[in-house]
Amino acid sequence: MRVPFRLGFFTHVEGNGDPARIYQDTLELFVAADQLGFDVVWVAEHHFRAHPGRLPSLFPFLAAAAERTRRLRLGTSIVILPLNHPLRVAEDAAVVDLLSGGRLELGVGSGGAPVEFEAYGVPNSERHPLTTNGLRQLQRALRGEILPGDRQLDPPAPTLAERLWQSALGETGARYVAEHGVGLLLARAAFGGDRRTDEIQLDVANAYLGQWAGPSPPRIGLSRGIYPATDRRAALEAMRASVMNWATAMAKLGQVPGGLSLERYCELMHIAYGHPDEVAEQLAADLVLPCATDLILQFNPVIPPLDQALCMLEQIATQIAPALGWRPALAISQARERKEPI
């Protein structure tokens, strides 16, 4: 059987208190994900507590993760291109890719938190053209093309351009991503009136696939929130405070209506929750999953303690993802060696 997707885990590297502890706990999660057979882990760039995420610099962190893992691929979702010089991104990415043995997955995007752009002195209104120009420069550098000053990227990363991703929210952005031959990253949730997230994003995914003309197969990374527990009631109670705090903040920004039920906010956030079998059933019903080459799961907005997060990762790898047809890459390799059907 063909593995339907690569299994990913995404974290904003969140938490209160000592950032050193938060980083070490996150690295422990990555080591566990490596041992459990996850294919990719992803981290996101955030600055100045504009978001609960605590990781402003992705590449040093992923270099540390590369030293602690052996097989796990390491993804950025996303590097905020308007806040970073694209050649600096290319150099940092090339070094991490070299140190990790070619395991980097380089995701970029435009960001959008006003506080971050204000602190960097970058007009928020310019983030889209800066992202467009930055992607072109980044691709040229990664491909080894001649740069201004008659120079080339060093160290070279000749295959990293084939592992480049970009986030997009709408169909126009998805077509742009396809035109440039990079993978499409879809967010956990999309807000569009009465339509469900997967209904909205199916149109986005189809726009991307319809525009794709690259020599390699298209790639779609689908991010989804999950919360496995003993049952749906236990999951709701465990998520209540985090989800309602998120809803209050989003309502103030006009992103979601106020005064809705906990269940409705979980639906808007597109969180699959309950017993692992129920979580798998909800994920299996997602309209975009058949298009996805990567399923990227996250616990956000809940920040479970380390021991609980480790248990949840194990549930994903041993119960939830296998119910969707996924098998660890190591198990597939061993089966091939034994000439067993996979």
255 within domain boundaries: no
In sequence order, the 6+-apart residues with CB closer than 8 A to the CB of 46 are: 12, 52, 53, 54, 55, 56, 113, 116
Percent of the chain with pLDDT over 90: 85
pLDDT digits (tens, 9 = 90+) for 301-339: 999 999 999 999 999 999 999 999 999 875 544 444 445
300 within domain boundaries: yes
Task: Give me the tens of pLDDT residue by residue for the chain, a chain 342 residues long.
Answer: 356 899 999 999 998 889 999 999 999 999 999 999 999 999 999 999 878 889 999 999 999 999 999 999 999 999 999 999 999 999 999 999 999 999 999 999 999 889 999 999 999 999 999 999 999 999 999 999 999 999 999 999 999 999 999 999 999 999 999 999 999 999 999 876 778 999 999 999 999 999 999 889 999 999 999 999 999 999 999 999 999 999 998 898 888 899 999 999 999 999 999 999 999 999 999 999 999 999 999 999 999 999 999 999 999 999 999 999 999 875 544 444 445 444
Domains identified in the chain, total number:
1
Could you tell me the residue range of the domain that residue 58 belongs to?
6-233+272-337
259 within domain boundaries: no
pLDDT digits (tens, 9 = 90+) for 244-286: 999 998 898 888 899 999 999 999 999 999 999 999 999 999 9
For residue 331, the domain's CATH number is: 3.20.20.30
27 within domain boundaries: yes
77 within domain boundaries: yes
244 within domain boundaries: no
How far, in Å, CA of 47 to CA of 70, rounded?
Answer: 29
The closest of 340, 312, 274, 332 to 4, measured between CA atoms, is 332
282 within domain boundaries: yes
24 within domain boundaries: yes
**Burial of 81 per CB tally in 10 Å (0-12, 13-18, 19+):** buried
pTM score: 0.94
